[in-house]
Amino acid sequence: MDGNGRWAQRRGLPRTEGHTAGEENLAAIVRASVARGVDYLTVFGFSTENWVRPRREVRHILGLHRKLFGRVSELNDLNVRVQWIGRPFDDPAARTPTYVQRAIQKAISDTAQNTGMTLTVAFDYGSRTEIAHAARRVVGQHKTPNVAVMSRAMYIPDMPHVDVLVRTSGETRISNFLLWQAAGSPSYFTNNPWPEFSEDDLDAAIALAHKFRSR
């Protein structure tokens, strides 16, 4: 969900206002995804690299994530189940604050019975970190690494393969996001920053996924 800060700066606003707008647009895209029958939506909320951002900006983003995970009533109304993917809280390198951990755990618990779309939020997440974590688990279990064994050692072993990877704000590169799960998947690029990511963008991304699958 790239481009929040640049969206704000172009309007003469603090970068934090862009993150607020991005969080609101995420809620709208979740509703639109549910309406279209999307089964899984995974969003890159905060990466392992984002901790180096200015402290004020990081604090603001953390507060927005607590708010996001606190939208339980709306998520239940939509029959959406929440998941989280990121460095395990007991990992020595993990940096997720306790109050965000509690919000994550509560959202997962309070939406566990929902049977509709699964919304997975990647927080304190980096794909290379996940792959390295999986490799350590496999080696620690004295198993021979292969694709099947490594897949079972990922943070969420039953996460389905990515149908389409979306990148916003004119960035035409793949970030450190679900590299294992998205291998071979098509990518949808849009010039719209995340606060302006529209239902038309969503429809175009879904269409690309269908087109790729029908080959």
For the segment 156-192, what is each residue's pLDDT rounded down to a tens digit? 999 999 999 999 999 888 889 999 999 999 999 999 9
Residue 171 and residue 192 in contact, taking contact as beta carbons nearer than 8 Å: no
**Rounded Cα gap, residues 135 and 149, in angstroms:** 9
E strand or H helix at 127, and its extent?
helix 127-140
Which two three-digit tokens encode residue 29? 């895209």
In 3D space, the residue among 119, 24, 32, 116 whose CA is nearest the CA of residue 77 turns out to be: 116
In Å, how far from its chain's centre is CA 116?
Answer: 17
Packing angle of the helix pair 55-69, 15-35 (nearest 10 deg): 30
Q: What is the pLDDT of residue 69?
A: 82
User: Active-site residues: which are they?
Assistant: 2, 50
Give all strands (DSSP E) within 52-170, no chain letters: 81-85, 118-125, 165-167
List Cα–Cα distances, 84 to 15, 68, 127, 169, 191, in angstroms.
25, 12, 14, 24, 27
pLDDT at 35 over 90: yes
Output the pTM of the full model.
Answer: 0.93
Mean of all residue pLDDT scores within the chain: 94
Question: How high is the pLDDT of residue 148?
Answer: 96
How many residues are given for the chain?
Answer: 215
pLDDT band for position 202 (50/70/90)? very high
Question: Which tokens is 153 given?
Answer: 């050692």
pLDDT for position 138: 97
